[in-house]
Structure 1
Amino acid sequence: MRKIPAELCIRCKGYKYLCGLPSCPIMDRFRSVTLAISKIHNSEVIEGSTPPSIIIGERGYPKVSLLYNIPPGVQGESAKDYEDPRGWWGKKSLNEILSLRSQMISSILKKIDITNPYRLYEKEISLAGVSYKPVDSNAVSDKKDIEPKLRFDGIFIPRGPSVEVNDIRVQDNPKLSPQFEKLIFDDVKAESAILELYRNGEDYYRIITGLSLGLFGLKKNRKLVPTRWSITAVDQAIGKFLLSQVKQYPEINEIEVYYSSYLGNYFHVILFPSKYRSVWVEIWHPLSLWTRELIVSDLSENFWGEYDFLDGGYMASRLAVLEKLYERKRQAGVIIIREITSEYYAPVGNWHIRETTRRALEEKKIGTFNNLREAIKFVNSRLKAENQIMLEEVRSIKKLLTQTTIDLFLDKK
């Protein structure tokens, strides 16, 4: 989380809002966690519907933990709201998302062998994870103490209080789409299954969970995949396919600028006439998540899909851009600028990066230009850090400007 000075919290005591936030994150989390724990009348059984929400951890690999998330006492369709990235976007505030996640108990099964995903399949746990409706479940534990912490991660959605359990029982029938059921039984490579589900309109986040739970691939090779890895793997697999198609299309005709924002993250996307290439810039404001000073990071990707280093946020945003170019049957050069302000005081995973970039390209074109430098200057003037940064001097953008053909800097009349 964003680091707020302890002395400020002592002076504030949760009600003066001296940090500038609309409510106290410490008190909000305390109330939500307390509410979740208070709903467990029998400390040995946690009952409710998983939204669905399952995480495969990576610690201890190849013996990993499975986290089965249940909001105690919440059953049926109302449980869906506890993990619904697409439904949250633009509707739920950061506080509301954290509150929802705080109210779910992570039931932890430990030391699961990644090479035996069939154990979870036989108990219908993995099927519950890819159900398109919430699934009534319970978890049984002989532990008396629930660990009352909200855990954060930059890649996946936060999880609430946790307890180690002996067993997880799925109480009703998971609901799977016919296409999903077919591919679970088919003996095809995982990448082929991912692409087939994607092209048939399956929910993106359900595909990620399916890969994580070992439901795809050649049957003799199937294994559990830690959720952190499966998110990037799906972004890469689908991005690879989209890029192979996009590179065959004609270039766009003019320079376009798009914009959208959510959860204190502000995105500008510049598309310009060129063979595919991409630049990713992140601007971290003081007292945003990981820093007390203004930090700028960047990376670039060339026509062949080779990038400086793997960044989960970039892969999520890149996917959204490639989707739009594929839909338009055009290719372009790409500059994505993500500005992270102090409003984003707790990480909620990279889903919001993917979804906000999608919304920018769907709804909010804010300008067209004949000159790339002018487009970059226009975006610079809209930044919260306008007076502290020159985008033209950022390493990857500067390199792009010196390598791009000269006609992009000349007005076309």
Structure 2
Amino acid sequence: MHKIPAELCIKCKGHKNLCGLPFCPIMERFRGMISSLQKVRIDSSSIKFVEGSTPPSAIVGEKGYPKVSLILNIPPSVYGEEARKYEDIKGWWGKLSLGDIIKLRSSLVSSMTKVRVEKPIEYYNTEIPLAVISDTPVTSEAKLKTLEAKLKFDGVILPRGPGGTAEEIKVKDNPKIPTKIDKLIFDDIKSVEAVLELYKNSIDYYKIIHALSFGLLGRKKNRRFVPTRWAITAVDSTIGKYLYDRIINYSEINEIEVYYASYLGNHFHVILYPSKFNAVWIEIWHPLSLWSKDLTISELKENFWGKYEYLDGGYMAARLGVLEYLEKIKRQAGIIIVREITEEYFAPVGNWHIRETVRNAMNNKIGKYDSLLEAIAEVNKRLKAQINLLELRTINSLLKQRSIYDFFK
């Protein structure tokens, strides 16, 4: 996160908006944590008890692999359907502000226990892995030995609130497992096949990630807890490859189109043009936006054979929405995705919003154009940053080498 000078914070004290943000993130974090900590019951031995319904919400950490943290997030004293709002990604999109999301997530208490990644089946009797794929929120209780008042942000996974090491975690309700996942828990098939089967049967995307992360899928002898960050990338890659393998056999689109959507200070433009599949990913970070002091641009290319310059989680999340659209219309295309990140995006809340915003963009066509140059010029005109897309390495190379793809026609 870009650091606001301490001198400015001292002058502002959270109410003058001297940093230019719509509200003070420090105060929002403080309010959320205090709200949570006030609901933590402490007994005479200083052991802390937290009870509530998990939305469901849980994380498998990666630090210390192969001995990792298993974290169950509980909103104190919040039960039943009310708990769902704390991790309702599709329900949040377009409705909740960045501040709303931070406030919700900082109101969760994280209960952590250490597990070895091998043989997660041994943990099934705790029902924690089953609780995180439940169709309904599940009441849980955690007995904490420690409690640390810190809000943890991440660029890939959702932020989480204060938490600590758990002496004991109990799932008090019976999880309601989707029938398709329940069947695969007992099946002995490769995890890739299981992920694709769930996706083809329209199981919630984020539930698939949880199922893989908590060791519920795959050959039984090979099942592992998978750190959540890795599971997100694995599911994006697995489903992306499945869609890619299908669309490269389709005919090309015959028009040049631009799509658009924005959320949380992130603006996405997607250009589709007649070509064999290839893709360009451009990120434009404004000054004072997350991670960047100055205007910063990053670029990535993926060719017809599915080879990209480097693995980027944001690109994999964005790519999915476009591939889903191309599979829907049974066509292939050249793709340019331009993500513009403004100063409104001051805290990372995970890459889910990239995935969902691009999915929504593909339902919002803003125009058709006679040439790729015209489409790029239109996107350039709509950008808030004063840049020339035609001067970028990836765009310049694409325009000069487009005739290579004509070889495949």
TM-score (norm 1): 0.96
Corresponding position of 2:145: 142
Q: Give the conservation status (yes or no) of the 8 Å contact 2:258–2:368.
A: yes
Distance across 2 between alignment mates of 1:401 and 1:167:
60
Q: Give the conservation status (yes or no) of the 8 Å contact 1:128–1:174.
A: yes
Corresponding position of 1:13: 13
Given the superposition, is the C-alpha separation of residues 134 and 203 from structure 1 closer, same or farther in structure 2, using an over 3 Å criterion? same
* 1:136-193 CA-partner distances (Å, limit 9, x unpaired): 00011233xx211111110011011011111210000101111110011100000001
Whether 1:394 and 2:392 are equivalent positions in the alignment is yes
Corresponding position of 2:92: 88
Corresponding position of 1:372: 372
Does the residue aligned with 2:198 lie in a helix, a strand or coil?
Answer: helix
Structure 1 residue 395: Cα displacement: 1.1
Distance across 2 between alignment mates of 1:276 and 1:383:
25
Given the superposition, is the C-alpha separation of residues 123 and 405 from structure 1 closer, same or farther in structure 2, using an over 3 Å criterion? same
Distance across 1 between alignment mates of 2:405 and 2:275:
11
Structure 1 residue 407: Cα displacement: 11
Higher alpha-carbon deviation: 18-27 or 191-200: 18-27
Q: Give the conservation status (yes or no) of the 8 Å contact 2:276–2:405.
A: no
Whether 1:405 and 2:409 are equivalent positions in the alignment is no
Structure 1 residue 19: Cα displacement: 1.6
Match 2:105 to one of 83, 101, 107? 101
RMSD: 1.2
Q: Give the conservation status (yes or no) of the 8 Å contact 2:289–2:341.
A: yes
Aligned 1:5-154 pairs, distance under 5 A = 5-42=5-42, 43-110=47-114, 112-143=115-146, 146-154=147-155
Corresponding position of 1:245: 246
**Identical aligned pairs, as a percentage?**
60
Distance across 1 between alignment mates of 2:5 and 2:360:
35
Q: Give the conservation status (yes or no) of the 8 Å contact 2:145–2:164.
A: no
Q: Give the conservation status (yes or no) of the 8 Å contact 1:3–1:289.
A: no
Q: Give the conservation status (yes or no) of the 8 Å contact 2:76–2:108.
A: yes
Distance across 2 between alignment mates of 1:2 and 1:179:
43
Q: Give the conservation status (yes or no) of the 8 Å contact 2:275–2:405.
A: no
Q: Give the conservation status (yes or no) of the 8 Å contact 1:277–1:333.
A: yes
Distance across 1 between alignment mates of 2:404 and 2:257:
18
Corresponding position of 1:281: 282
Structure 1 residue 104: Cα displacement: 0.3
* 1:368-402 CA-partner distances (Å, limit 9, x unpaired): 112101111110111010x2x11111111111111
Distance across 1 between alignment mates of 2:48 and 2:327:
51
Structure 1 residue 406: Cα displacement: 9.8
Distance across 1 between alignment mates of 2:374 and 2:275:
16
Structure 1 residue 4: Cα displacement: 1.7
Q: Give the conservation status (yes or no) of the 8 Å contact 2:117–2:226.
A: yes
TM-score (norm 2): 0.97
* 1:251-293 CA-partner distances (Å, limit 9, x unpaired): 1111000000000000000000000000000001111111110
Structure 1 residue 120: Cα displacement: 2.1
* 1:200-253 CA-partner distances (Å, limit 9, x unpaired): 010000000100001000111101100000000000000000011101111111
Aligned 1:175-254 pairs, distance under 5 A = 175-254=176-255
Structure 1 residue 45: Cα displacement: 1.2
Structure 1 residue 106: Cα displacement: 0.6
Corresponding position of 1:411: none
Corresponding position of 1:342: 343
Runs of 4+ in 1 over 4 A off after TM superposition: none
Distance across 1 between alignment mates of 2:112 and 2:285:
34
Distance across 2 between alignment mates of 1:195 and 1:407:
30
Q: Give the conservation status (yes or no) of the 8 Å contact 2:109–2:163.
A: yes
**Matching residue's letter, 2:120:** P
Aligned 1:351-362 pairs, distance under 5 A = 351-362=352-363
Structure 1 residue 44: Cα displacement: 2.2
Distance across 2 between alignment mates of 1:2 and 1:30:
19
Q: Give the conservation status (yes or no) of the 8 Å contact 1:2–1:342.
A: no
Does the residue aligned with 1:269 lie in a helix, a strand or coil?
Answer: strand
**Matching residue's letter, 1:323:** E
Distance across 2 between alignment mates of 1:405 and 1:81:
50
